[in-house]
Amino acid sequence: MKDLMPVITSNDGRFHNGNPATGELGTRVTAQYLNNVQDHIRDVEAELKYVLSKAGLNPNDAKTTQVYDAIIAIINANRRSASTTSKGEVQLTDSINMASSVFGASALAAKTAYDKGVQALNAANGKLAANGTAVAANKLANARTIALTGAVSGSGKFDGSGNLSISTVDNLTIGLVTSTSATGISNVATSNSSTYLNVVETRGKSANAVGSSTRVTGTGLAEVYSDATGVLTIRGNQDVNKLDKTGNQILNGKLTVDDILLAANNNKSLSKIIDAINKLFTGDRDAFKGIVNGWGTSGTTPLGISYDFTNQNAWWIKFGALFGGLII
């Protein structure tokens, strides 16, 4: 392509009309200048024609868009897709899981991937590591059954929301058995004329202690019972000649007791009353007073003896008809 065409030869490089009134001459157009114009116009036409030829077009006097059409055709024909080794055009995609090296992620794809990443991060932060300890969980997603088997049995559901308490059932029978070779044999009833072996068993294991039990002997009934603490009591002949708790009592022979408490007189000891009478009749006044002072300030004993110690200087004791109505 030619360089810029030289300007017209004039004082300012511009064309001017002449002025006959002042004698000013007009700009003279030389053959050289016109040849320059022709050469440069043809040079531009040659350049444009070359552009048309690269697009496969021929000049057409009826069209005025051939240069534009040629440029578009050339651009489309020379487009290259980008790759990991060369430059080129990259097509955008909204996909976030396309396995491609030639497509580019759109803004929507980037935003979608970002949102999913934030969602996954939040979910991961809320999950417990495989070797972690739960500190904020309220309960297990699925409750688990915890079961006990063997000597005792029982089960319960545990979901972590609270402590688990399991009620158990004893599965072993332990007691007096007729064999020492095995455990868990059914109990048998004892009798007054039979001797059985006493097998001591550790739950869930073989017998670890065997001893002969004492045979039940004696006449009459044998009563066996236990209290709330598990203490076992065996007693025999308990109903022979025993005293009833209520009603009149008839005894043959002598009755020897340590003392008798008189329930009708606030459980006063009968021995104390007798001792007080002995002290009185032997003249031991202070000892007598010391005993009766323990009974209270006044009252009447079941033996009909009345007393009043309210006045320390004028107290009295009145013996009833049993003692001839004696007053002290």
Per-residue model confidence as pLDDT tens digits over 195-236: 444 445 545 455 445 444 444 555 555 566 666 665 666 665
What is the three-class DSSP state of 92?
strand
Answer with the one of 45, 63, 82 that is the final residue of a domain: 82
CA angle 230–236–238, rounded 5-degree value = 100
Two structure tokens written together for 250:
């008839």
Answer with the one of 56, 82, 108 that is the final residue of a domain: 82
Does residue 163 lie in a domain region? no
Does residue 241 lie in a domain region? no
Q: Which residues pair with 236 in a beta bridge?
A: 222
Q: Closest by alpha carbon to 211, among 237, 177, 182? A: 177
Q: pTM (2 decimals)?
A: 0.33
Domain span including residue 311? 261-323
Does residue 162 lie in a domain region? no
* pLDDT range class, residue 41, cuts 50, 70, 90: very high
The count of domains in the chain is 3
Residue 247 burial (10 A CB sphere; 0-12, 13-18, 19+): exposed
Mean pLDDT of the chain: 76
Determine contact, residues 272/294, Cβ cutoff 8 Å: yes
Residue 271, pLDDT score:
78
Helices (H), the chain: 31-54, 66-77, 107-126, 270-281, 285-292
Q: How far apart are CA 208 and CA 61, in angstroms?
A: 125
Answer with the one of 82, 97, 129 that is the final residue of a domain: 82
Handedness of CA 277, 283, 287, 290 (dihedral sign): positive
Determine contact, residues 197/212, Cβ cutoff 8 Å: yes
Residue 170, pLDDT score:
76
Q: Are residues 272 and 318 in the same domain?
A: yes
Does residue 202 lie in a domain region? yes
Does residue 133 lie in a domain region? no
Query: Does residue 186 register a pLDDT over 60?
Result: no
Residue 156, pLDDT score:
87
Residue 257, pLDDT score:
73
* pLDDT range class, residue 160, cuts 50, 70, 90: confident
Per-residue model confidence as pLDDT tens digits over 257-313: 777 776 656 666 777 777 877 877 787 877 777 776 666 677 776 566 777 777 766
Q: Rounded to 5 degrees, what are φ and ψ at 147?
A: -125, 145
Does residue 211 lie in a domain region? yes
What is the three-class DSSP state of 321?
helix
Does residue 118 lie in a domain region? no
Q: Are residues 1 and 73 in the same domain?
A: yes
**Token pair 């009149």: residue:** 248
Determine contact, residues 160/137, Cβ cutoff 8 Å: yes
Q: How far apart are CA 328 and CA 324, in angstroms?
A: 12
